[in-house]
Structure 1
């Protein structure tokens, strides 16, 4: 196994661990999930660039008669990229004491101000940070509002 194969295995394991955490562990952390809202995807160009680079590496490895293991690892990396960038949907999970946004736990008492922009983006001002929450369905903003009113 070459250094390249070891690095590929490490990346695949890291991406797989992230996918398992995002899909199965995070919804069970910090209590019961009250509301799950799908968000708009960001970084489409980055996803295409990454997938294109992996495809170039696969093509290059096959044409240069590289190791079969490296080709399979690159294919596994490509499958992980397809899952993470195109199949998986980003979401915000609301719990009793806070919410998960971009896999980060934020308690409700950290919210200093909430606004809704003209284009339907919910803006939450924290102590030193501003969250821009772009929901996939505009009607979900009303669900978030009702939940926040009930919790506060």
Structure 2
């Protein structure tokens, strides 16, 4: 049962990573701009890796080799997600993808620019999306594409 859940988790993450890398560009029309966002959740990933390490250490040989391999894959995927994968803001003609969720432009009430290259999208339903861009050039490119400074 545990091996089945671990196997499905590994397969689901590979599918997610493949979709994020290649699928989003093909959805909802042509990509107008794709910019990198600041990485987050490094500490969460390190805690997850430490917990998996504790599970392996506590088992001390009472764990199947296949389970150890699957847990090792989860550690590798966590390292990839935290340190190598870069989140992206993908702007299309009708909206943008943020954390793999498509938000149409008609759902946006206001777009504000905050300190440290952060774009704040205020939605009409009262929610707020904060996209931390990596540098001034990306910030200027997004602002120019979305209508310029006002």
TM-score after normalising by structure 2:
0.90
Q: Compute the displacement of 1:53 (Å).
A: 1.1
CA displacement, residues 1-56 of structure 1 (integer Å, 9 cap, x when unaligned): xx111111121112111111111111211111111110011222211101111222
- Deviation of residue 65 (structure 1)? 4.1
Q: Of 79, 84, 87, which aligns to 1:87?
A: 84
Q: CA RMSD in A?
A: 1.5
Is the 8 Å Cα contact of residues 36 and 92 (structure 1) preserved in structure 2?
A: yes
CA displacement at 1:105 relative to structure 2: 0.3
1:117 is the counterpart of 2:102: no
Q: CA separation in 2, counterparts of 1:117 and 1:145? A: 12
State whether residues 57 and 74 of structure 1, in contact with CA within 8 Å, keep that contact through their aligned partners in structure 2. no
Matched residue count:
147
TM-score normalised by structure 1 residue count: 0.89
Q: Show structure 2 runs of 5+ residues with no match.
A: none
Partner of 2:19: 21
Q: Which ranges of structure 1 fall in alignment gaps of 5 or more residues?
A: none
Looking at secondary structure, tell me which structure has more strand per residue. Answer: 2
Question: Which residue does 1:5 correspond to in 2?
Answer: 3
